[in-house]
Structure formats: C-alpha cells, structure tokens
C-alpha cells in the first residue's frame, strides 16, 4: 500500500502500480475537497486493471480526527480528536464514523486507517509523542478506550468502509515517535495480556478488517524484535491470543525507526512474521520491497506459502468490499 502525496504529479505511483504490481494506495498529506480526492482515486483505479489481475485497489486514508485527518474541505466533515470524541457517548462516536465512512466511500476510499486503540496513561499524557501529544487516544486505559474503538469500527463498517485498529500492541506507553526517531520507542510494560489488549480486542470483535502493527519494541512480548518483525507479536499475541485472522498491516515502513533495516528485509521479515500488507510512505521503496518478496519466495517454498497466505487474506478482504469479480 503505497502513498500518493498531496500535490504530487502521480506519475511515480501510477508507474509502480503498472510495473511493480502495487495493489493498494493511500492518501498522504493534506488533501482538500471531494473533487480532488475522487479524481485521484479514479486515476489510480484506472492504472490498475491487468497489472493487478483486474482486482481493485484498497484505497485508504487516515481519517481519525483532530490533528490526523488527511482529507478535508468540501465533502469532508471536520472530525474532532479522539480525546474530544470520548467526551461524548460511544453511540455518538458510531454516528460520527458512519458519516466519515459515507464520505470516504463517496470519493472512492474504501479503507480508513483508524481508529486508534492506543491508550496513554495519565501519568505520561503529552509526553507520549506519537499519540498523547496530539490527543489521538480515547482514554488512559485500554478498558476505557475499548467501547469507543468498537463504536468507531461499527460506524465505518455500517458505511461499507473497512476499519483499521492501530497500533498493535499499543503506542501509548512510549515517548518517541517511531516515524521520526529510534529513541524512546521501547515499551517495557505491555505484556500482551487481555487487559493490555482490551481496546484492540474490542475493535476486532466489532468487525475491524485490518490491524496495524507498530514499529516499537515490546521486550516483555519479544525481547529480540520490533513488533513489525515479531512472530511473537503478530502470530502469538494477535493471531493466536486474540483469534484474529484478518489482514495485518505495518505502520509506515519508511519510518526512521526502521531505517536500520534494508528496505527489502523490511518486507520479507514482516511477511515471514505473519504480516500481510506493507504500508509504504515513499514510492521509491516499492521496487526493492517487491523484488525482495519475489526473490525470497522463489528461493524458499515455506516463505512462498506465507506470501500466498498473505495475498489470500488481502484478496478476501477485497472481495468483501466488492473489489473482485467474485462478489461475497
């Protein structure tokens, strides 16, 4: 899933769709107005066709609310931050995201990279740079956040848009932002217990079709690997622990926190760990990542089976969204 930056010419992403068979895209940066978004979504869909086996694109946007709302202006409701949303009822949050989902679907967007299931302890608050600083959390504990995460998920699903709960197993207990730094990205508290994962479980139970895994470290779950490269996080805590069998995505693999790992290995290590969909903020990374996946699958039958399983989960999701010839 490769980014289309606001204000870009679009040629590089169109070429990646045609030449690297990129099958999914997301809107990055500040996009203004329904007409601009709709025209871009139609152009990207037209670039697919034979290169994606006539299977449609997942087209995503970050429509959380507050500081994180990529699509604004005419045709898009201004969404309050999660912290503000939580001043109301879960029923009100469901209605908010039913409206958000309808607006997205009307412009050709079928995936919302929301809601945030990260809980930020009150003792940390704004010192938590990725979430708390921006008011992106619903609550200070997973149990308190859970009903709002479920409510947002239900609202999106009722509008026919896939919800993405993020950032598993939680970014609320770190200080550094993984997009920007390698410092302060170790959560030494989260254990993967039912209590720690309650908000994610609520979103999954409400019908979330994607779960985004963070790039932080959780030594009480896996002392050796960042979450995005961890079978213990993805296969263990998420798939086995929560019984989740849907699509697992990365956070942006162009993040500073991952730049110590070569681009191709970011792709192969994620899929080897049980993940499915790479979210890539830089179109130039699509080629080395696609090449690495193809090469490793050709050389390693066990890895090839994992690629097939990941592709199957993604195409199954696309079928539920009406993006394949076989409607479900």
How far is residue 51 CA from its own chain's centroid?
A: 23
Residue 254 has φ and ψ, to the nearest 5°, of -85, 5
- Of 251, 256, 87, which Cα lies nearest the Cα of 184? 256
Length of the chain: 328
- Of 45, 39, 53, which Cα lies nearest the Cα of 13? 45
**According to CATH, what is the number of the domain 6-320?**
3.20.20.300
Specify the pLDDT at position 53: 86
Q: Cβ contacts of residue 231 below 8 Å, gap of 6+? A: 222, 272, 273, 274
The DSSP output letter for 169 is T
d(CA 23, CA 81): 30
pLDDT tier, 7 (very low <50, low <70, confident <90, very high otherwise)? confident
In this prediction, residues 109-114 reach a mean pLDDT of 98
Rg (CA), the chain: 18
Read off the pLDDT of residues 245-263 as tens digits, 9 standing for 90 and up. 999 999 999 999 999 999 9
- Of 302, 327, 321, 325, which Cα lies nearest the Cα of 58? 321
Q: HSE-up of 241 (CA within 13 Å, CB side)?
A: 21
d(CA 28, CA 25): 9
**Residue pair 47/89 in contact by the 8 Å Cβ criterion:** no
Taking 90 as the threshold, does the pLDDT of residue 50 lie above it?
no
Residue 319 to residues 42, 58, 165, 327, 328, Cα–Cα distance (Å): 19, 11, 20, 6, 6
d(CA 296, CA 307): 10
- Of 57, 70, 169, which Cα lies nearest the Cα of 113? 70
The gap between the terminal CA atoms of the chain, to the nearest Å, is: 23
Specify the pLDDT at position 208: 98
Read off the pLDDT of residues 267-319 as tens digits, 9 standing for 90 and up. 999 999 999 999 999 999 999 999 999 999 999 999 999 999 999 999 999 99
Read off the pLDDT of residues 226-250 as tens digits, 9 standing for 90 and up. 999 999 999 999 999 999 999 999 9
Helix, strand, coil shares of the chain, percent, nearest 5, are 45, 15, 40
Domain ranges of the chain: 6-320
């Amino acid at each position: 899933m490769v980014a289309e930056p606001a204000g870009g010419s679009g040629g590089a992403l169109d070429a990646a769709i045609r030449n690297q068979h990129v099958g999914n895209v997301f809107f990055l940066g500040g996009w203004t107005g329904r007409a601009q978004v709709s025209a871009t979504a139609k152009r990207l869909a037209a670039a697919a066709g034979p290169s994606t086996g006539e299977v449609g694109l997942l087209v995503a946007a970050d429509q959380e609310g507050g500081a994180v709302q990529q699509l604004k202006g005419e045709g898009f409701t201004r969404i309050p931050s999660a912290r503000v949303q939580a001043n109301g009822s879960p029923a009100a949050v469901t209605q908010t995201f039913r409206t958000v989902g309808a607006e997205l679907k009307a412009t050709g967007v079928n995936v919302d990279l929301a809601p945030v299931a990260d809980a930020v302890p009150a003792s940390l608050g704004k010192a938590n740079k990725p979430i708390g600083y921006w008011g992106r959390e619903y609550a200070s504990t997973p149990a308190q956040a859970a009903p709002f995460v479920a409510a947002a998920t239900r609202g999106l699903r009722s509008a026919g848009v896939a919800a993405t709960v993020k950032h598993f197993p939680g970014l609320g207990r770190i200080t550094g932002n993984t997009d920007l730094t390698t410092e302060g990205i170790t959560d030494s508290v989260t254990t993967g217990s039912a209590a720690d994962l309650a908000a994610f479980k609520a979103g999954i139970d409400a019908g979330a079709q994607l779960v985004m895994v963070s790039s932080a470290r959780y030594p009480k779950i896996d002392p050796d690997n960042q979450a995005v490269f961890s079978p213990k996080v993805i296969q263990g805590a998420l798939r086995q622990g929560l019984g989740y069998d849907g699509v697992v995505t990365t956070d942006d693999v162009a993040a500073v926190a991952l730049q110590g790992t070569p681009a191709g290995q970011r792709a192969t290590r994620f899929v080897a760990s049980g993940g499915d969909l790479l979210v890539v903020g830089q179109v130039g990374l699509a080629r080395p990542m696609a090449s690495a996946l193809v090469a490793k699958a050709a050389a390693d039958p066990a890895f090839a089976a994992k690629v097939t399983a990941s592709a199957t989960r993604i195409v199954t999701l696309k079928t539920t969204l009406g993006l394949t010839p076989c409607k479900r």
